Structure formats: C-alpha cells, structure tokens
Amino acid sequence: MATAIDIDRLTFEEKMELYDKLVNSLTPDQRFDPSPAWHKDVLEERARLVREGKAEYVTLDDTIAEFRKEGLCK
C-alpha cells in the first residue's frame, strides 16, 4: 500500500518525479495509454515548425527557470 504524502509540501522537482513514477506505473496497464494517438500529429507538426525555423525547442531546465521567474513554481 502506498503511503500518504502532503503534495503541497513537495518541491516542483519532487512533484515532477512523483508524476513520472505514477505515469510509469500505469504504462504497463493496457487500459491506460499515456500518449493518445493525436499526440503523434501534434509532435510531427512541432518538429516541422522547428525544421522551418518557425519554432524552437526549450529545455526542461529553461522551462522551470521561466516558471520560477513568473512565480509559477518555487
């Protein structure tokens, strides 16, 4: 049985780690598909925009830094 935790007390990084563990634990379950079919179309479109120089990828570290700058996470 899982232990209860106070999610509000976790850091952003701890919450992301917990999220990853939860998703990974569900993945073997055939009733749960973490990646719906339409995701492929979205990812292909984003890759096309990057190739054409109309968009760029941002690292997770840069995204977290921007969230912190905007006060969206600690």
What is the chain's mean pLDDT, rounded? 86
The more confident residue out of 69 and 5 is 69
Taking the CB of residue 35, how many other CB atoms lie within 10 A of it?
10
Tokens of 60: 């997770």
Share of the chain above pLDDT 70, in %: 85
Predicted confidence at residue 37, as pLDDT, reads 83
Rounded to an integer, what distance in angstroms lies between the CA atom of residue 4 and that of residue 23? 18
- Flag whether pLDDT at 23 surpasses 90: no
Residue range 16-27: mean pLDDT, rounded: 83
Which of the two residues, 35 and 70, has the higher pLDDT score?
A: 70
Taking 60 as the threshold, does the pLDDT of residue 57 lie above it?
yes
